[in-house]
Amino acid sequence: MSNISLLVYGSLINKHELQKENILLENCMPVFIKGLKREFNQEPTYRKIDSINRAVLSVKEESSSYINAILISNVKKSHIENLDIRESGYFKYQVNKEKIEFKYTNEITELGEVFIYMGRDIKRNENIFPNKSYLELCLNGAKHWGEEFYEDFVQTTFVQNDSLLIYR
């Protein structure tokens, strides 16, 4: 596993969550990805609450959609193993590097294999709404990467086919 990169799009866009996972912020950069749709429709694995407001984020392939995310480059094997445990309701999906745009920076990083965590179908539930504390964690995380990143995050995140714009 040499030169592995991960794309994160939910709670891990929050710098504090990255630091909790011992991920160096200098290995992180905001990016734009074509062909994915981000939605609050995932049953939680760790953030369990007995409420209709329990959804966490997932992504799915959709050619007409796009999301922003944080690219973590040069991910250590130990970090991947820890994240695989944390993200047990998801599977690693390899992303075509051609779909990644460096919209928020002039830096372009050489990419090896790039993966994103996609929700498992068994965890999909279209009838739930965002976990409020998780939503705040994500919104605060998006703000850390700048106003343009935050606005794109809100516009490209969906709750039952409505943009997150209605929730902020």
pTM of the model as a whole: 0.93
What pLDDT is attached to residue 1? 45
Token pair of 156 as six digits: 């490209």
Tokens 């965890």 -> residue: 123
What are 80-101's pLDDT values in tens digits?
A: 888 998 899 999 999 999 999 9
Q: Estimate to the nearest angstrom the gap between the alpha carbon of 127 and the chain centroid.
A: 21
Domain of residue 144: give its range: 4-166
CB neighbours of 144 closer than 8 A, spacing ≥ 6?
Answer: 13, 14, 15
Q: How many domains does the chain divide into?
A: 1
More confident position, 38 or 75? 38
Q: Taking the C-alpha atoms of 112, 117, 121 and 126 in order, what is their torsion angle to the nearest 10 degrees?
A: -130
Q: Name the pLDDT band for 161 (thresholds 50, 70, 90).
A: confident
CATH (domain of 32): 3.10.490.10
What pLDDT is attached to residue 9? 98
What pLDDT is attached to residue 79? 83
More confident position, 3 or 132? 132
What pLDDT is attached to residue 167? 63
Helix 147-155 with 132-144: angle, nearest 10 deg = 140
CA angle, residues 14, 98, 23, in degrees to nearest 5: 25
Alpha helices in 12-159 (DSSP H): 15-20, 77-86, 132-144, 147-155
What are 34-55's pLDDT values in tens digits?
A: 999 999 999 998 767 778 999 9
